[in-house]
Amino acid sequence: MNTAVFHDRDAWLSLLEELFDPPTCERLDDVGVGPGWEALEVGAGRGSIAAWLAERVGPEGRVVATDVDTTLLEQRAAAGVEILRHDVLADDFSPASFDLVHCRALLVHVRDPERALARMAAWLKPGGVLVAEEPWTDVARLAPDATAARAAAALADIDGAFARRLPQALRDAGLERVRADARLAFFEGGSREAAFFRRVLEGAAVSLVATGDLGADEVREMKARFDDPTFLDCGWPRIGAVGWKADG
């Protein structure tokens, strides 16, 4: 997404953690991650999930946290977490290195998400599990707020349709027992959820204002609606998919 309006990357990632860490931890708990597991967190951001994983796997386990920019990871390094600058499409791990590979809001940003998934699947040990979570942003184009819908359509650096393809992509990567679910929640204006969607759409609208396709006043009105406690709307579904590598 266009992060030009998100001047403080640390604050932005903190908001994402606040909103999305609880369902992520629930999914990871559901696959049984526990002591002794070797886990890889791809696109780790500030490292909150990597830190959670480190607590779960304990000293006998291993957690590797990667990102193309590890600045915040290094600033907030958690005990038991190895930090590695890594591009999922360019840099490799040895085959069968991990019991768990997890990514969140990563694949919608890479140029070849299917290839990224295939690479991550190869890094799993036999019987290992891949957990991927992605936002289905195409749904935002159906917003009843016309300005918000037009701004959502301008999220040009996100593959808004990929999340719906995610479960099939896990299966195409050779994983088994694939299952998936979607979470969609309504929010009131002025909430932390509203702040998240307001900032995303404000960033997306920048290019439309620059080309004259949206007026600055329209964007101001949209932002005001997201701050209005009488405003009620939903975000976009966040699809989580889980697939297991065959044993042996």
Is 118 a member of any domain? yes
Distances (CA, A) of 241 to 37, 94, 122, 178, 209: 20, 23, 17, 7, 36
Residue 124 domain-assigned?
Answer: yes
Average pLDDT over the chain reads 92
Reported pTM:
0.91
Parallel/antiparallel/unpaired status of strands 176-183 and 238-244: antiparallel
Mapped onto helix, strand or coil, the DSSP state of residue 208 is helix
Give the pLDDT of residue 119: 98
Which residues are CB-contacts of 64 (< 8 A; sequence separation ≥ 6)? 39, 40, 41, 81, 82, 83, 84, 98
pLDDT, one tens digit per residue, over 72-97 is: 899 888 899 999 999 999 999 999 99
Q: Is residue 157, in this structure, part of any structural domain at all?
A: yes
Between strands 38-42 and 62-67, the pairing is: parallel
Residue 2's pLDDT band (cuts 50, 70, 90): very low
Check pLDDT > 70 for residue 1.
no
Cα separation, 64 vs 120, in Å, equals: 13
Residue 146 lies in a domain: yes
What pLDDT, on a 0 to 100 scale, did the predictor assign at position 7?
52
- On whether residue 1 sits in a domain, the answer given is no
What would the mean pLDDT of 130-142 be, rounded to a whole number?
A: 93
| Overall average pLDDT of the 111-119 stretch | 97
Confidence of residue 211 (pLDDT cuts 50, 70, 90): confident
Which pLDDT score is estimated for 99?
98
Owning domain of residue 86? 9-244
For range 99-110, the mean pLDDT: 96
Q: How far is CA 50 from CA 42, 62, 73, 182, 215, in A?
A: 9, 10, 10, 23, 42
Residue 4 lies in a domain: no
**Least confident among 16-25, 32-41, 109-118, 201-210:** 201-210
What percent of the chain has pLDDT above 70? 97
Q: What is the CATH number of the domain that holds 197?
A: 3.40.50.150
Percent of the chain with pLDDT over 90: 72
- How far, in Å, are 48, 208, 224 from residue 199 at the CA level? 21, 15, 12
Closest Cα to residue 48, out of 68, 69, 6, 20? 20
Which tokens sit at 228? 């209005």
In the block, tokens 């070797």 appear at: 38
Distance CA 209, CA 224 (A): 17
Question: Does residue 3 lie within any of the structural domains?
Answer: no
What is the structure's pLDDT at 208? 84
Q: How far is CA 165 from CA 13, 94, 155, 241, in A?
A: 25, 27, 18, 10
Number of domains the chain contains: 1
